[in-house]
């Protein structure tokens, strides 16, 4: 079965007049003579030339869109436009039939909404083939980046008893009978009888456990699934998504920003180098989509230019306080064009504000630092002004926040004070506080939402289209 050559390799081959075996799925079959065959290794099909006069008519009828076939034949120079080589078939075997009356993916343009309904088949389209090959490259590049720098890949738990963000938007994990769970004498659910002997949930972040690893291994990173039970039906939110979370001992905020910027540039460069054809296809797709928008909403740059732009420019770094001043004085704010007007210091920035800074004001990626402590998590290191924390967010065009991180609070008394202020029970996080009791040191880390990165690099508009099987409110299909 494995004696085959992938279509990508055949199309790049300099050899002709050799016998090859190629396998894939039929995209189209025209004139009873030409099969466009694709095996997912590239968006480009290879043309199979069928000797229809000497082929069994019943076999010809089974050469339908979606059918899986094996072809043995001679690789020859192509006379047709658009391809260097084609295969003159000497033997065709049907591996799996596809009923053309029922196959949902006919050779025509389908809407992304329709393709979400058939997510089990959408990999077979050019758009999704390109997206998931790019996703694969980005995933591998992330590991390469950290491994080359001596980081340790740490698997943090998916089932946990902590809510790292303190937001309370967690999925509960239990083996109780949900209709009749055991109760305490006061009528509350008795989690002591549950599988883990306490209330547990799916993780919202591996950060806290990642910090434990960094306090011995120096530099670690996690790359795994995270879960938010947030009833959010936006184009930027999922209930299950993947996060990259490095934690580094002996790092301050500047080291943290430098690492995050280097990571983003490295993975974008890898995608441009390894997925040129896919990104060219996605760039053309985006250009067509942009034509439907009003002129003022269209991007000045093509997808490839936008990616190159991120490589060519240092990210603009400024404080939250400086950003608020820019936004306050901005034309959209003065003309009340923002949905959420900027009224003063302490406002939590919305996506429209982040995108204004990136796309209109600086016209480059932006790193915002030193946010008010009131709008940030308990573990961020407090500045001497008692008002702000050593936080940093990286903002990208079209996306808004793509990375969120901070220097972590290593001072035990400051951390405990902040937990008290925010009502976070210290006794439940005794293990986390131990890292401040025994050999505390300055350290920092960040979280990169992987799907938001894929969204940016592919130019897609909806996060549900860059993860194979999206999970969102009222949907856990496939």
Q: How confident is the model at residue 443 (pLDDT cuts 50, 70, 90)?
A: very high
Tokens for 171, please give them. Answer: 């999925």
Exposed / middle / buried, residue 164 (Cβ in 10 Å: 0-12, 13-18, 19+): buried
Structure confidence at residue 300 (pLDDT)? 76
Model confidence pLDDT, tens digit, residues 342-397? 989 999 999 899 999 998 999 999 999 999 999 999 999 999 999 999 999 999 98
Question: Which structural domain, as residue segments, surrounds residue 218?
Answer: 124-169+204-465
Last residue of a domain, one of 70, 103, 136: 103
Q: For residues 290 and 218, state if they share a domain.
A: yes
Structure confidence at residue 165 (pLDDT)? 61
Structure confidence at residue 297 (pLDDT)? 75
- Asked if residue 387 is part of any domain, the answer here is yes
Q: How confident is the model at residue 79 (pLDDT cuts 50, 70, 90)?
A: confident
Q: For residues 140 and 245, state if they share a domain.
A: yes
Structure confidence at residue 343 (pLDDT)? 87
Q: For residues 229 and 340, state if they share a domain.
A: yes
CA distance 85 to 329: 60
Could you tell me the CATH number of the domain that includes residue 70?
2.40.50.140
- Asked if residue 456 is part of any domain, the answer here is yes
Q: For residues 133 and 18, state if they share a domain.
A: no
Q: Which residues pair with 395 in a beta bridge?
A: 366, 401
Counting DSSP H helices and E strands in the chain, the numbers are 14, 16
Please determine, for residue 55, whether its predicted confidence score (pLDDT) is greater than 60. yes
Q: For residues 312 and 443, state if they share a domain.
A: yes
Q: For residues 26 and 136, state if they share a domain.
A: no
Structure confidence at residue 132 (pLDDT)? 98
Structure confidence at residue 290 (pLDDT)? 87
CA distance 279 to 271: 8
Q: For residues 83 and 130, state if they share a domain.
A: no
Could you tell me the CATH number of the domain that includes residue 403?
3.30.930.10
Mean pLDDT to the nearest integer, 114-130: 96
Please determine, for residue 168, whether its predicted confidence score (pLDDT) is greater than 70. no
Count the domains in the chain.
2
Q: For residues 326 and 431, state if they share a domain.
A: yes
Q: Starting at the edge strand that comes first in sequence, how are the strands of the sheet with 172-173 ordered?
A: 159-160, 200-202, 172-173
Q: For residues 72 and 135, state if they share a domain.
A: no
Q: For residues 348 and 404, state if they share a domain.
A: yes
Provide the phi-psi class of 50: left if phi over 0, else alpha when psi is between -120 and 50, else beta: beta
């Amino acid at each position: 079965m494995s004696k085959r050559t992938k279509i990508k390799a055949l199309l790049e081959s300099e050899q002709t007049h050799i016998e090859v075996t190629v396998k894939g799925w039929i995209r189209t079959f025209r004139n009873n003579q030409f099969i466009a065959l694709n095996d997912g290794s590239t968006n480009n099909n290879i043309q199979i030339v069928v000797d229809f006069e000497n082929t069994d008519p019943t076999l010809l009828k089974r050469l339908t869109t979606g059918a899986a076939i094996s072809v043995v034949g001679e690789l020859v120079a192509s006379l047709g436009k658009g391809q260097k080589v084609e295969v003159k078939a000497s033997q065709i075997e049907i591996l799996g039939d596809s009923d053309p009356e029922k196959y949902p993916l006919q050779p025509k343009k389908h809407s992304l909404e329709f393709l979400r309904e058939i997510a089990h088949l959408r990999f077979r389209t050019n758009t999704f083939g390109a997206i998931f090959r790019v996703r694969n490259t980005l995933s591998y590049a992330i590991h390469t980046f950290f491994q080359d720098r001596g980081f340790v890949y740490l698997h943090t738990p998916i089932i946990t008893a902590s809510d790292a963000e303190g937001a309370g938007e967690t999925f509960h994990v239990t083996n109780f009978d949900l209709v009749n769970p055991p109760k305490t004498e006061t009528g509350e659910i008795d989690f002591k009888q549950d599988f883990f002997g306490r209330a547990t949930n799916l993780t919202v972040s591996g950060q806290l456990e990642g910090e434990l690893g960094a306090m011995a291994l120096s530099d670690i990173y996690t790359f795994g699934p995270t879960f938010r039970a947030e009833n959010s039906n936006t184009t930027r939110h999922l209930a299950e998504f993947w996060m990259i979370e490095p934690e580094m001992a002996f790092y301050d905020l500047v080291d943290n920003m430098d690492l995050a910027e280097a990571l983003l540039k490295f993975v974008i460069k890898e995608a441009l180098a390894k997925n040129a054809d896919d990104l060219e296809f996605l760039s053309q797709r985006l250009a067509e989509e942009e034509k439907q928008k009003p002129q003022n909403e269209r991007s000045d740059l093509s997808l490839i230019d936008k990616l190159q732009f991120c490589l060519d420019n240092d990210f603009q770094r400024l404080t939250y306080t400086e950003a608020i001043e820019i936004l306050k004085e901005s034309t959209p704010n003065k003309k009340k064009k923002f949905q959420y007007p900027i009224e003063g210091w302490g406002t939590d920035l919305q996506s429209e504000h982040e995108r204004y800074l990136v796309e209109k004001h600086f016209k480059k990626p932006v790193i915002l630092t030193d946010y008010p402590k009131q709008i940030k998590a308990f573990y961020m290191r407090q500045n001497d002004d008692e008002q702000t924390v050593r936080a940093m967010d990286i903002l990208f065009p079209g996306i808004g926040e793509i990375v969120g991180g901070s220097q972590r609070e290593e001072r035990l008394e400051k951390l405990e004070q902040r937990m008290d202020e925010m009502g976070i029970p210290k006794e439940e996080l005794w293990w986390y506080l131990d890292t401040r009791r025994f050999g505390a040191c300055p350290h920092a880390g960040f979280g990169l939402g992987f799907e938001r990165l894929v969204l940016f690099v592919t130019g897609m508009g909806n996060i549900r289209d860059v993860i194979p099987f999206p999970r969102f409110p009222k949907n856990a299909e496939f």
